[in-house]
Amino acid sequence: MADKLILVLDEGTTSTRAMLYTLAGEWIATEQRDITQYYPQPGWVEHDAGEIWDRTLECARAAIERAGGADRIAAIGVTNQRETVVAWDKATGQPLGKAIVWQDRRTDEQCQQLRADGHEAQVQEKTGLLLDPYFSATKMAWMLRNVEGAAALGDRLAFGTIESWLVWNLTGGLHISDVSNASRTSLLALTGQTWDDALCDLFGVPRAALPEIVASTGTFGTTKPELFGAAIPITGLAGDQQSATIGQGCFGVGQTKATLGTGAFILANMGQTPPKSEHRLLGTVLCEVNGTRSFALEGSVFVAGSLVKWLRDSIGLLGNAAESEALARSVPDSGGVVVVPALSGLGAPYWLPDARGSITGLSFATTRAHIVRASLESVANVFHDLGRAFAADGAPWSVLRLDGGMSANDWIAQDIADVLNIPCERPSDVETTARGAAILAAIGSGHYGSLEEARAMVSPIQTFAPEMDSTARDQRLSHWTKALSC
User: What is the model's pLDDT at position 387?
Assistant: 94
CA distance 173 to 160: 12
Domain edges within the chain: 5-240
Q: Structure pTM?
A: 0.88
CA distance 389 to 93: 43
pLDDT digits (tens, 9 = 90+) for 43-82: 899 999 999 999 999 999 999 999 999 999 999 999 999 9
Q: Average pLDDT over the chain, rounded to whole? A: 94
Nearest Cα neighbor of 407 from 435, 379, 445, 434 is: 379
User: What is the model's pLDDT at position 354?
Assistant: 81
- Nearest-Å Rg of the Cα atoms of the chain is 21
Q: What stretch of H or E contains 229? A: none
pLDDT digits (tens, 9 = 90+) for 309-334: 999 999 999 988 889 999 999 999 99
Q: Does the structure show a pLDDT above 80 at 2?
A: no
CATH classification (class only), 5-240:
alpha beta
pLDDT digits (tens, 9 = 90+) for 82-102: 999 999 999 999 999 999 999
CA distances in angstroms from 4 to 230, 248, 255, 439, listed in the order given? 15, 23, 31, 14
Count Cβ atoms within 10 A of the Cβ of residue 155 and give its class: 0-12 exposed, 13-18 middle, 19 or more buried.
exposed
pLDDT digits (tens, 9 = 90+) for 397-414: 999 999 988 888 999 999
pLDDT digits (tens, 9 = 90+) for 108-155: 999 999 999 999 999 999 999 999 998 999 999 999 999 988 999 999
pLDDT digits (tens, 9 = 90+) for 269-319: 999 999 989 888 999 999 999 999 999 999 988 888 889 999 999 999 998
Mean pLDDT lowest among 204-218, 284-298, 319-333, 343-357: 343-357
User: What is the model's pLDDT at position 301?
Assistant: 87
pLDDT digits (tens, 9 = 90+) for 21-48: 999 999 999 999 999 999 999 889 999 9
Q: Does the structure show a pLDDT above 80 at 486?
A: no
Q: Are 50 and 98 in contact (CB under 8 A)?
A: no
Q: pLDDT: is 486 or 132 the higher one?
A: 132
Nearest Cα neighbor of 6 from 72, 62, 57, 80 is: 72
Q: By percentage, how much of the chain surpasses pLDDT 90?
A: 84
Within 8 A by CB and 6+ apart from 170, the residues are: 76, 221, 223, 224, 227, 234
Q: Are 11 and 428 in contact (CB under 8 A)?
A: no
Q: What is residue 211's DSSP assignment? A: P
For strands 282-289 and 212-214, give the pairing: unpaired
CA distance 83 to 344: 15
Mean pLDDT for the stretch of residues 472-479: 94
What 3 state SS string does 277-307 have? CCCCCEEEEEEEECCEEEEEEEEEECCCHHH
Nearest Cα neighbor of 454 from 136, 19, 24, 108 is: 24
Give how far the C-alpha of residue 97 lies from the chain's centroid of Cα atoms, to the nearest Å: 23
Mean pLDDT for the stretch of residues 236-264: 92
